[in-house]
């Protein structure tokens, strides 16, 4: 399985299941070591392009190169297409 590099999955650090599954994605190699981040710990720069109303409620996947974010089912599709092609 490929590693999704230069992408960060935002998660809710106050919800144990989110922390558990994102940690598992990193440990399994699906995400690189910097592939997860709590949406509560976004930098000021990241807050300029992440929709802070959507990120807590939808799965947000940040492309660190283009500074763009996909949300919800779009992020899952993007991730799945990359990992399983």
Q: From residue 78, give the alpha-carbon distance in Å to each of 2, 13, 34, 44.
A: 13, 23, 18, 25
- What pLDDT score does 1 carry? 64
Q: What is the pLDDT of residue 30?
A: 85
Q: Cα(74)–Cα(48) distance, rounded to whole angstroms?
A: 20
Q: Given this model, what pLDDT does residue 80 score?
A: 77
Of 9, 7, 3, the C-alpha closest to 21 is 9
**pLDDT of res. 81:** 78
Burial class (CB in 10 A: 0-12, 13-18, 19+), 54: middle
pLDDT at 60: 94
**79 with 32: CB under 8 angstroms?**
no
Nearest residue to 66 via CA among 40, 46, 52, 44: 46
Q: How would you classify the pairing of strands 60-63 and 7-11?
A: antiparallel
Tell me what pLDDT residue 43 has: 94
List of the chain residues with pLDDT < 70: 1
């Amino acid at each position: 399985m490929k590693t999704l590099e230069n992408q960060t999955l935002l998660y809710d650090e106050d919800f144990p299941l989110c922390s558990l599954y994102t940690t598992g994605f990193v440990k399994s190699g699906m995400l690189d070591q910097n592939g997860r981040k709590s949406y509560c710990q976004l930098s000021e720069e990241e807050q300029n392009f992440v929709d802070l109303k959507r990120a807590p409620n939808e799965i947000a996947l940040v492309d660190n190169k283009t500074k763009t974010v996909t949300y919800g089912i779009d992020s899952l599709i993007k991730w799945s297409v990359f990992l399983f092609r």
